[in-house]
């Protein structure tokens, strides 16, 4: 969205909210709207982050992760992406302990279905490391 690219996050957010309403009211099959719906929700989350609305961002990321996890295996890239986004939102919201716990639990589940050197395991391990980093130390 050009508005987002120009730093007009509030206007971009309004545009994405209107788009989300159209998608949801279109009355089409969920599978037909899954990608546009996910993309619009992702854009809304980015706007919330840019506007500093961290509570809103965190709520969206939790909801998006829960929905993705319910629909896809833990090893599915969509689930990993949603987990990484939630971990990032937790860190942005200064929920470091929760982010650590979430990453550890998710990594434990992921390791059951992937070899240790799998890129998904490595990526989530890096996310866990990020939750452990203390810039004040």
The radius of gyration of the chain from alpha carbons, rounded to an integer in Å, stands at 16
Euclidean distance between CA atoms 99 and 58, whole angstroms: 11
Chain centroid, CA 101 distance in Å: 16
Work out the percent of the chain whose per-residue pLDDT is above 70. 93
Band the pLDDT of 64: cuts 50, 70, 90. very high
Checking if the pLDDT of 26 tops 80, the result is no
Contact assessment for residue 23 and residue 43, using Cβ atoms and an 8 Å cutoff: no
Q: Which of 3-12, 22-31, 50-59 has the lowest mean pLDDT?
A: 22-31
pLDDT the model gives residue 30: 47
pLDDT the model gives residue 131: 87
Rounded mean pLDDT, 31-42: 76
Query: For residue 18, with 0-12 CB atoms within 10 Å meaning exposed, 13-18 middle and 19 or more buried, which class applies?
Result: exposed
Contact assessment for residue 41 and residue 60, using Cβ atoms and an 8 Å cutoff: yes
Euclidean distance between CA atoms 101 and 133, whole angstroms: 14
Rounded mean pLDDT, 122-136: 85
DSSP H helical ranges for the chain: 2-5, 9-25, 30-50, 54-71, 77-92, 96-113, 119-132
Band the pLDDT of 25: cuts 50, 70, 90. confident
């Amino acid at each position: 969205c050009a508005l987002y690219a120009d730093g007009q996050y509030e206007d971009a957010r309004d545009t994405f909210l209107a788009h989300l309403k159209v998608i949801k009211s279109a009355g089409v099959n969920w599978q037909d709207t899954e990608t546009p719906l996910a993309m619009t929700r992702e854009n809304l989350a980015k706007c919330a982050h840019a506007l500093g609305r961290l509570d809103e961002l965190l709520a969206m990321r939790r909801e998006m992760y829960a929905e993705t996890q319910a629909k896809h295996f833990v090893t599915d890239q969509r689930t990993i992406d949603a987990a990484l986004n939630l971990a990032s939102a937790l860190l942005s919201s200064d929920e470091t302990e929760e982010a650590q716990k979430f990453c550890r639990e998710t990594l434990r589940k992921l390791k059951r279905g992937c070899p240790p050197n799998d890129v998904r395991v490595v990526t989530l391990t890096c996310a866990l490391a990020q939750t452990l980093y203390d810039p004040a130390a």
